[in-house]
């Protein structure tokens, strides 16, 4: 799956977690812009892992701060 298709799928998955209706771009930060708390992050990561059949390690999660970084990580993990 290419980056654009991956980004589209992730955008759909983020919808229920985007309580304030923030416009999503590669620079959108999960903690700052979307105000995700740790529980929301865990739920969102589980949804991503299920949808793409991948595992995002705790170390990788700690490095992912923006939507663009997440899309890149998912593309990479899919091989």
36: left (phi over 0), alpha (psi -120 to 50) or beta: beta
Provide the 8-state DSSP code for 34: S
Per-residue model confidence as pLDDT tens digits over 59-78: 999 999 999 999 999 999 99
- Residue pair 19/40 in contact by the 8 Å Cβ criterion: no
Q: Given this model, what pLDDT does residue 79 score?
A: 87
Does this model's pTM top 0.85? My answer is yes
């Amino acid at each position: 799956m290419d980056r654009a298709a991956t980004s589209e799928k992730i955008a759909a998955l983020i919808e229920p977690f985007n309580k304030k209706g923030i416009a999503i771009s590669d620079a959108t930060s999960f903690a700052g812009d979307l105000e995700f708390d740790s529980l929301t992050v865990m739920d969102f990561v589980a949804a991503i892992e299920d949808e793409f059949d991948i595992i995002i390690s705790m170390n990788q999660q700690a490095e992912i701060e923006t939507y663009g970084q997440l899309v890149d990580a998912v593309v990479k993990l899919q091989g």
